[in-house]
Amino acid sequence: MKRFVFATASTLAVVAGTSVLAEPQAEVLHWWTSGGEAKSVAVLQEEFAANGGSWTDMPVAGGGGDAAMTALRARVLSGNAPTAVQLKGPAIQEWYEEGVLADISSVAEAEGWAEVLPASIAGHMMCEGVWCAAPVNVHRVDWIWANADVLAANGIEMPTTWDEFNAAATKLMDAGVIPLAHGGQAWQDATVFEAVVLGIGGPEFYQKALVDLDPEALTSDTMVQVFDQMRMMRGYVDENFSGRDWNLATAMVMNGEAAFQIMGDWAKGEFLAAGKKPGEDFLCASTPGDGYLYNVDSFAMFDVDGDDKKAGQDLLAKLIVAPNFQKVFNLNKGSIPARTDVALDDFDICANLSAEDMGSTSAAGSLLPSYAHGMALRGSQSGAITDVVTAHFNSEMSSADAVQQLADAVANSY
C-alpha cells in the first residue's frame, strides 16, 4: 500500500500539467508472446499498474510482426489506433510521416533521454527533431554462438576471420558434426548475410551497401565475395534446415548436433533457459570482423484521444526508459539496456561484452543498424534485398547473378 501511494505520487509529479486526474490507460500492441519475452513485457505491465495505470494487452504473434503490422494498419485506418505499439527502425519515421504518431518530447526532455542514450540509438527515436519513440533495449545481431564441448573436442578456437570459420567448418564436417545450425527462413538467411557483409566488407562497406544502398558497393567485387561466402555457408548447413525456427537451430547447438549458430542475442535466452552457462557450455563472440550490428526494440506512441490514454502514453514512455525497467527487462530478454548508465553487474559475460563493444564501436563509428531486423532500411527496400539473399541461398544462383539481381531489386524498390 505504501508503495502504491509512493508510486502514485511520483506519477503525479511526472505527468503534472498534462492530465492529472485521468487514470493512465494503455492498450499495447506487440508480438512478444512467448516465454522470456512475455515475462519481460509482464515486468512493464506490473510497473505500469503499480503507477496506477491500467494496461490492456494486445499481442499478435507471427511472421516476426507481420500479423501485428496488419492489425496495426487496420487499426490506424479505422481511426482506432492502439495507444502504444512495438515499432522499430525507419518504420517509426515512416509512421511519423503519415502523421499518426504522438510527440513525447515532454517526457523525454523531463527524463533527460538525450544524455543517457547513445547518439545513434537516440537518432532512431527522433522524428523530424522531436522524440517519437521510447527504446527498450539493444540487441546485438552479429553474434556467433558455439557449443564449447564440440569446439574443444575438435580442437577449434572461436573463429575471428571468415577463413578461420571456413577451415573450422571443413574440420567439423569431416568429424560428422553440422558446422552451422540454421533455419531456412528469409529473415534468418538475411541475418547470416549481414554478418558476412560486415565481416568481409567491413563497417564502411556495410554502411554503403546496406544503409546508403550505394549501387557501386552493391555491384562491387566485395559483394561477389560476400555471395561466395554465402554459398559456402549453405554447404555448412544440414539438409533439413528449411522452414526451421531459429530456436530449434539453437537447440541443435545446445545438444551438440551442430557447432555454430549465427543469431542475435535472443538466442542466449534459449541457452540460459536450458540451464547452460555462458563461457562454459556455450560460447559467444561477435561474428568475424569489426563492427556492431544493433537491433533496438522500441515503443512508439500513436495519436489517440482521451486524457487517460495520453497520460498512459507519458507514463509508459517514462517507465520504459527508466533504469529499473531497462535492467529487469534486459536481464529477461538477453539484450542490454539502451541507456548507458545502467550498472551491468547482474548481467552475464556475453551481455557485458556486448555493452563494451557498443561503447567502443560507437566511438569508432562502426555501431551500425541491422538491415535484417528492419533497423537500416525501409520495409520495401530491406524486403527487396532479402528476396535476393534468400533466393540465392536456396538455389544454385551464381554470385554474379545474385549481385546483378540485388542491384536491380534495390533500384526497383524505393
According to CB under 8 A, which residues from 107 to 136 bind other proteins? none
By the rule CB under 8 A, 379 interacts with other proteins:
yes
**Binding residue (CB under 8 A) for other proteins from 57, 103, 204, 307:** 57
DSSP state, 239?
T
**Binding residue (CB under 8 A) for other proteins from 116, 171, 184, 344:** 184
Which is nearest to 267 in space by CA: 145, 126, 389, 155? 145
By the rule CB under 8 A, 53 interacts with other proteins:
no
Q: For the packed helices 162-174 and 221-235, what is the interaxial angle rounded to 10 degrees?
A: 20
Q: Residues 331-370 vs other proteins: string with x where CB under 8 A?
A: ----------------------------------------
User: Which of the residues 83 through 112 are near other proteins (CB under 8 A)?
Assistant: 91, 94-95, 97-98, 100
Looking up cell 569508432 gives: 364
- Is the Cβ of residue 265 or residue 348 nearer to other proteins in the bound state? 265
- Is the Cβ of residue 22 or residue 38 nearer to other proteins in the bound state? 38
The torsion of the CA quartet 397, 213, 86, 60, rounded to 10 degrees, works out to -20
C-alpha distances (whole Å) from 110 to each of 19, 102, 317, 321, 335 are 16, 16, 11, 12, 26
**Binding residue (CB under 8 A) for other proteins from 193, 246, 302, 329:** 246
- Choose one: 152-160, 168-176, 203-211, 378-386; the region binding other proteins (CB under 8 A): 378-386
- Choose one: 3-11, 31-39, 302-310, 344-352; the region binding other proteins (CB under 8 A): 31-39
Least distance CB 235 / other proteins (angstroms): 15
By the rule CB under 8 A, 74 interacts with other proteins:
yes
**Binding residue (CB under 8 A) for other proteins from 31, 165, 206, 347:** 31
- State phi, psi for 380 to the nearest 5 degrees: -70, -35
Phi-psi region of 314 (alpha: psi -120 to 50; beta: other; left: phi over 0): alpha
Distance CA 106, CA 380 (A): 32
**Binding residue (CB under 8 A) for other proteins from 7, 22, 50, 76:** 76
**Binding residue (CB under 8 A) for other proteins from 113, 145, 236, 266:** 266
- Choose one: 60-68, 113-121, 194-202, 346-354; the region binding other proteins (CB under 8 A): 60-68
- Choose one: 125-133, 206-214, 237-245, 299-307; the region binding other proteins (CB under 8 A): 237-245
- Is the Cβ of residue 367 or residue 384 nearer to other proteins in the bound state? 384
Q: Residues 384-403 vs other proteins: string with x where CB under 8 A?
A: ---x--xxxxxx--------
- Is the Cβ of residue 198 or residue 389 nearer to other proteins in the bound state? 389
- Is the Cβ of residue 53 or residue 82 nearer to other proteins in the bound state? 82
By the rule CB under 8 A, 259 interacts with other proteins:
no
Which is nearest to 72 in space by CA: 131, 103, 28? 28
CB atoms within 10 A of CB 113: 23
CA 94 to chain centre: 18
Phi-psi region of 263 (alpha: psi -120 to 50; beta: other; left: phi over 0): beta
By the rule CB under 8 A, 194 interacts with other proteins:
no
Contacts 24+ apart (CB under 8 A), 57-65: 57/28, 58/27, 58/28, 58/29, 58/30, 58/82, 59/29, 59/30, 59/31, 59/32, 59/33, 60/29, 60/30, 60/31, 61/31, 61/33, 61/34, 62/31, 64/31, 64/187, 65/31
By the rule CB under 8 A, 322 interacts with other proteins:
no
User: Which of the residues 276 through 315 are near other proteins (CB under 8 A)?
Assistant: none
Contact 338, 135 (CB under 8 A): yes
- Is the Cβ of residue 30 or residue 113 nearer to other proteins in the bound state? 30
By the rule CB under 8 A, 145 interacts with other proteins:
no
By the rule CB under 8 A, 326 interacts with other proteins:
no
Please say whether the dihedral angle defined by the alpha carbons of residues 57, 63, 69 and 75, taken in this order, is positive or negative.
Answer: negative
Contact 381, 387 (CB under 8 A): no
Which is nearest to 197 in space by CA: 142, 265, 264, 120? 142
